[in-house]
Amino acid sequence: MRRLIALQDRLIAPLGSGDAALPFAARFAFAASLAMYFFNSGLTKIGDGLTGIFQTSLGAYAQIFPRAMETAGYDVKQLGLFHWAVVTAGTWAEFILPALIIIGLFARFASIGMIGFIVVQSLTDLFGHGAWEDTAVLGAWFDRMPDGVILDQRMFWVLTLAIIVFKGAGWLSLDRFLNRSDV
């Protein structure tokens, strides 16, 4: 058994520790599978016209604060500054954080922000939209079905982002370029 493990290690060793390739692969996976999800989600939250980014839509409030909106009769004017700030910051985050991750600028901070965003998104889905009642959406760890949206899929989202948090943005990134000592 030891010889087999040693053989495995010798064969894989030329690939390196993954410190350079793994973060780039994580950023690529994020760009290929999640960036457009967040970008399109952000588009559903902005208002009309050029100033729409500052005037979030009714749908943004309904998505982020579903129970508060229901209580307010879907009248945004009944909600306060806190609600506006959270909705506006959340909307901007869906555009800014993925862009920073893709180009590899402040990628660790952006990934931490996205992990926080995913946690808040999941809690909103669970308790604001009542997803905790639907076991198919919630999913379960250590079961035979890997298709639960919240526990299963979002765990992989967070893992992808955690690689960037712990390893950095990788070799093809603005973080690496701007951090070079000869620039």
Q: How many domains does the chain have?
A: 1
14 occurs within a structural domain: no
Q: Residue 20: its pLDDT value, please?
A: 74
In which residue are the tokens 């946690």 written? Answer: 119
With a cut of 70, which residues of the chain have pLDDT below it?
17-18, 181-183
5 occurs within a structural domain: no
Compute φ and ψ for 171, nearest 5 degrees: -75, -30
Q: Residue 12: its pLDDT value, please?
A: 80
**CB-based burial of residue 103 (10 Å sphere; 0-12 exposed, 13-18 middle, 19+ buried)?**
middle
Domain range for 163 is 20-178
15 occurs within a structural domain: no
As a whole number of angstroms, the distance between CA 19 and CA 155 comes to 22
42 occurs within a structural domain: yes
Considering only CA atoms, which of 138, 108, 89, 114 is closest in space to residue 37?
114
As a whole number of angstroms, the distance between CA 145 and CA 5 comes to 30
pTM: 0.87
Using CA atoms, how far residue 29 sits from 12, 16, 138, in Å, is 22, 20, 23
DSSP state letter for 45 = T
Compute φ and ψ for 122, nearest 5 degrees: -65, -45
86 occurs within a structural domain: yes
Q: Residue 132: its pLDDT value, please?
A: 84
Contact 101, 34 (CB under 8 A): no
141 occurs within a structural domain: yes
pLDDT per residue as tens digits for the range 71-101: 999 999 999 999 999 999 999 999 999 999 9
8 occurs within a structural domain: no
Conformation bin of residue 25: beta by default, left when phi > 0, alpha when psi is -120 to 50:
alpha
Q: What token pair was written down for 95?
A: 């555009």
Contact 103, 115 (CB under 8 A): no
Contact 88, 80 (CB under 8 A): no
Q: Residue 17: its pLDDT value, please?
A: 67
Compute φ and ψ for 166, nearest 5 degrees: -85, -30
2 occurs within a structural domain: no
Q: CA neighbours within 13 Å on the CB side: how many for 178?
A: 9
